[in-house]
Structures are given as structure tokens and as C-alpha cells.
């Protein structure tokens, strides 16, 4: 039963990471900033997504 839960959690993280990468690429941030965020999300999927969610380039446009 643990494999199914782990697989589902992995799928959710994958979907969230793809969503974040699409939003990053479509943002108005600088190219260097976009590359840094995408690399961070690819290397550290869960932590990178959470950091982007809290302090990502998309938050700057709301301020």
C-alpha cells in the first residue's frame, strides 16, 4: 500500500512542478531569474516548488 501512496504523491509533485515551470517561463522575469528557478525546481522538486510558491517571480507582479 505504501508504493501506491508514494506514487500518487510523486505524481502530485510532478504536476505541481510542471505548473510552476510553465508559470515561470511565461512570467515577465529576467531570463537569468527564470533559469535559476527552473533549475532549482528540477534539482529539488518539492523544496524548489515551495520556495517558488513563497518567493517566486510571479509574486513580484502582485506587489
For residue 16, what pLDDT is reported?
95
Residue 22 and residue 26: Cα distance in Å, rounded? 6
Within 13 Å of residue 14, how many CA atoms lie on the same side as its CB? 6
Q: Which residue has the higher pLDDT, 24 or 2?
A: 24
For residue 62, what pLDDT is reported?
43
Average pLDDT of the chain to the nearest whole number? 85
Q: What's the whole-model pTM score? A: 0.80
Cβ neighbours for 49, distance < 8 A, ≥ 6 positions apart: 13, 16, 17, 20, 41
For residue 57, what pLDDT is reported?
56
For residue 3, what pLDDT is reported?
64
Per the CB < 8 A criterion, the answer to whether 31 and 59 are in contact is: no
Amino acid at each position: 500500500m505504501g508504493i501506491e501512496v508514494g506514487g500518487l504523491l510523486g505524481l502530485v509533485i510532478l504536476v505541481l512542478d510542471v505548473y510552476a515551470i510553465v508559470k515561470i517561463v511565461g512570467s515577465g522575469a529576467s531570463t537569468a531569474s527564470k533559469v535559476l528557478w527552473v533549475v532549482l525546481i528540477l534539482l529539488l522538486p518539492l523544496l524548489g516548488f515551495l520556495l517558488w510558491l513563497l518567493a517566486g517571480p510571479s509574486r513580484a507582479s502582485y506587489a
